[in-house]
C-alpha cells in the first residue's frame, strides 16, 4: 500500500492531478488564463492568542524531507477550522509519523475524543474529519527566505475536558 492509497479525497493521485480546487467548489482547467492579480497569494489570517474550539476538516498525507531535527518520514497535514469574529479560519498543523513524534499523534487523538487517556487505539486517520476539540493558539513571528518578517499561528491541542474560556461565537462552546 502506498502513501496515496487512501488519499483523503478518496481519489487516485492521477485523477487528483487533473484538477485544482480554488477554495470554492469550482475547478480550474490546466490551460487556464493567468493574470497579474492571480500572482498574489491569498492573505493568511492570523488568529489572536487565545483558547478556541476547533473542528478538523480534513488531512493530507505527505512526506517530510530530512531536517536537522528529524530524518525523512511520512507526515500528515491536519486542517483545523476555528471560528473567530464570525469568520471560519483554517489553521494547519503538521504531524510527523516518526517514533520521536508519536506523542503528538496520541495527543491529537486524545484531544479530539478518539482516544481516552490510558487507552490504546489504532490510529485510523480517516476518523479525524469532523472531530472537535479545544486548542490554545499562540502567534509565532519568523523571518521568510526573503528576509521579511511574517507571522503564523502555533496550535497546542488540549485534553477534551479543558474548559473554554475565550474566543467562541456560540454559547454552546462550539462555533460551528
Residue 163: the pLDDT is 80
Instruction: Report yes or no: 135 and 158 within 8 Å, Cβ to Cβ.
Output: yes
Domains, the chain, in order of start with CATH, read 44-157 (2.40.50)
Q: DSSP character for 130? A: T
- CA 163 to CA 113: how far, in whole Å? 15
R_g of the chain computed on alpha carbons: 18
CA end-to-end span of the chain: 35
Instruction: Please tell me whether the overall predicted TM-score, pTM, comes out greater than 0.75 for this model.
Output: no
- CA 81 to CA 164: how far, in whole Å? 16
Residue 175: the pLDDT is 53
Q: What is the mean pLDDT of each run of 10 residues along the chain (176 residues)?
A: 38 34 61 80 84 96 93 96 93 95 95 92 94 96 92 93 62 50
Other CB atoms within a 10 A radius of the CB of residue 39 amount to 7
CB within 8 A of 156, min separation 6: which ones? 135, 136, 137, 138
Which of 93, 73, 74 minimizes the C-alpha distance to 82?
93
Residue 37: the pLDDT is 79
CB within 8 A of 139, min separation 6: which ones? 46, 48, 49, 151, 152, 153, 154
Amino acid at each position: 500500500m502506498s502513501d496515496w492509497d487512501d488519499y483523503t479525497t478518496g481519489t487516485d493521485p492521477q485523477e487528483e492531478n487533473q484538477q485544482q480546487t480554488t477554495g470554492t467548489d469550482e475547478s480550474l482547467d490546466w490551460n487556464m488564463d493567468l493574470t497579474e492579480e492571480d500572482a498574489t497569494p491569498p492573505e493568511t489570517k492570523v488568529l489572536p492568542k487565545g483558547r478556541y474550539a476547533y473542528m478538523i476538516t480534513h488531512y493530507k498525507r505527505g512526506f517530510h524531507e530530512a531536517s536537522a531535527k528529524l530524518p525523512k518520514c511520512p507526515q500528515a497535514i491536519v486542517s483545523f477550522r476555528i471560528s473567530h469574529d464570525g469568520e471560519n479560519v483554517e489553521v494547519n498543523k503538521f504531524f510527523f509519523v516518526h517514533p520521536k513524534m508519536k506523542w503528538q499523534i496520541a495527543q491529537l487523538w486524545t484531544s479530539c475524543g478518539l482516544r481516552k487517556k490510558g487507552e490504546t487505539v489504532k490510529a485510523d486517520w480517516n476518523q479525524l474529519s469532523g472531530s472537535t476539540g479545544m486548542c490554545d493558539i499562540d502567534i509565532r513571528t519568523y523571518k521568510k527566505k526573503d528576509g521579511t518578517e511574517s507571522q503564523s499561528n502555533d496550535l497546542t491541542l488540549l485534553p477534551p475536558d479543558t474548559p473554554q474560556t475565550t474566543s467562541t461565537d456560540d454559547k454552546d462552546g462550539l462555533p460551528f
